[in-house]
Structure 1
């Protein structure tokens, strides 16, 4: 079976329509349908079922799709390995990272590395912590930038920075004029949090427990800047990383939510780099890992501390 036919199958299995897939492959829809039918004949089972105008995987098709993903990923990794042996400086680095790191940490790390190795390409993905762990375990990312040690024996994690978390309150909140606050003072407030599965959600709930209460959740979101906007709109309070004014300017009609220093609990989160413990990384990814471990401390700012200099943090 042609690998390109398997790529077509994977595209449709991931949710693309036959029309979209055929157009991207520069082929006709009937030709694509014949290719999918050929796969089903070779598999000896119906892999798709039609739901309206879309094709959806059958239970058998779902099992087959998992093996197709493995075959194609192994093949692509093989191509990468050969290409990097021929020209180590022209490799590809599959990197996944937290959404919040894309505004300040990731860009200078990438540009600094490409200053030295301009032919290196990056495949970038953004997730919450659970998605980042999956990227590593599935082999779709060589490295991930995340918060906190994933706690998985198969993954090695190295702390890079300690990032402070501040209590964001609405601009007209009773505490908006303060600069410092005890977290226990907002025990009765409504909190705006990320959905379960995000590390910042777990960190917030843990810090609230340390302060003696369980937060009342009024709203849940999937991005920190969305939470900041909800706080600014007066919908609750939230423990958040310091804002990046380049990505969250004031609208001119509503000032940015004040961010108060928390004094009764250690309100911060660890940021680090993770990779599979037993995997030898390709040269480009191994080089980028060393670059990150060396450069991250030099990129700290806005109260962020290099891992080795964070007062009160474990080594």
Structure 2
């Protein structure tokens, strides 16, 4: 059985088309189809069924995929372990992080780390809070950078910094001329929120409760940039992380206001699975991230003007 066939099976099982999976494997689509047919013959059961134009796993296929995932993950981790033993300053850092940190914190940490360890490679994933915890537990990431402590007995978490949250309002909003406001002053506003299950959604709802109200939901999105865009369009207000890439100029369509009646901030931390050893190069990155957080002037991002 060819490992590449198993990787192609895994890709198709996760939604990749046979055509795209074949291109990724460097073979033709008919060749991959024949390889998958041979795999089914070898297993002795149909692994896929066609639903319209899409291939879906059969019950047997779902069972088989669980074991394929374990085999491929073990093989990849074994290769990494050998590579890191041969060259401890090389290897792959498998890192998953919040979407909102992909524009400033993660690039900064990765750039600085690769200056010290230029042969290090990165395998990066983005996800929400729940998905990040799953990446650790499923061994698809060695480290995660997340906005709250996962609260799982197998996971160790350390704070890196405190990220301010600001009330984002359209430039023409009645509060736009203020620099500081009470969150309770927005009690009658429509809030642009992330969907349920995202950490920022949970935090926003908690802060609004502390301020004495339940936010009126104007829209639910999946990306902070969507929240910014809809606030700029005048469709509501939102609590948004005040990261360094956020700038506010006099002609900007959004104003970012400090809130004074509740703690407008969230913790950003790094976590790993304490029941599994962190590979050497990932351990070096972990130490680098913790040192960077402790350095003067880097404990929290600057608030926008």
Q: Which residue does the alignment assign to 2:283?
A: 286
Aligned partners of 1:103 and 1:244 also within 8 Å: no
Q: Which residue does the alignment assign to 1:41?
A: 41
Distance 1:81 1:240, change over 3 A: same
Aligned partners of 1:97 and 1:126 also within 8 Å: yes
Aligned partners of 1:187 and 1:214 also within 8 Å: yes
Deviation string, structure 1 residues 82-108 (Cα, Å, up to 9, x no partner) = 000000111100111111111111111
- The alignment status of 1:263 with 2:249, answered yes or no, reads no
Instruction: Give TM-score, length-normalised by structure 1.
Output: 0.91
SS of 1:63's partner is helix
Distance 1:294 1:244, change over 3 A: closer
Q: Distance in 1 between matches of 2:192 and 2:39?
A: 48
Q: Which residue does the alignment assign to 1:311?
A: none
Instruction: Give TM-score, length-normalised by structure 2.
Output: 0.93
Q: Distance in 2 between matches of 1:157 and 1:243?
A: 21
Deviation string, structure 1 residues 226-253 (Cα, Å, up to 9, x no partner) = 101111111111111125557x787x9x
The residue correspondences of 1:94-109 to structure 2 (distance < 5 A) are: 94-109=94-109
Aligned partners of 1:109 and 1:296 also within 8 Å: no
The residue correspondences of 1:73-152 to structure 2 (distance < 5 A) are: 73-152=73-152
Q: Distance in 2 between matches of 1:261 and 1:21?
A: 48
**60-69 or 136-145, larger mean C-alpha shift:** 60-69
Q: Distance in 1 between matches of 2:24 and 2:224?
A: 34
Aligned partners of 2:103 and 2:245 also within 8 Å: no
Deviation at 1:218, TM superposition (A): 0.7
Aligned partners of 2:96 and 2:126 also within 8 Å: yes
Deviation string, structure 1 residues 29-48 (Cα, Å, up to 9, x no partner) = 33322221222122221110
Q: Distance in 2 between matches of 1:215 and 1:301?
A: 26
Provide runs of 4+ in structure 1 moved above 6 Å.
Answer: none
Q: Distance in 2 between matches of 1:280 and 1:109?
A: 22
Q: Distance in 2 between matches of 1:292 and 1:129?
A: 19
Aligned partners of 2:248 and 2:254 also within 8 Å: no
The residue correspondences of 1:162-177 to structure 2 (distance < 5 A) are: 162-177=162-177
Q: Distance in 2 between matches of 1:255 and 1:23?
A: 44
Query: Structure 2 unaligned runs (5+)?
Result: none
SS of 2:174's partner is coil
Query: Structure 1 unaligned runs (5+)?
Result: 305-315
Deviation string, structure 1 residues 248-282 (Cα, Å, up to 9, x no partner) = 787x9x62311111111111100000110111111
The residue correspondences of 1:241-252 to structure 2 (distance < 5 A) are: 241-242=241-242, 244-245=244-245
Deviation at 1:303, TM superposition (A): 4.4
Q: Distance in 2 between matches of 1:161 and 1:64?
A: 42
SS of 2:229's partner is helix
Deviation string, structure 1 residues 68-122 (Cα, Å, up to 9, x no partner) = 1111011100000000000011110011111111111111111111111100000
Deviation at 1:59, TM superposition (A): 2.2
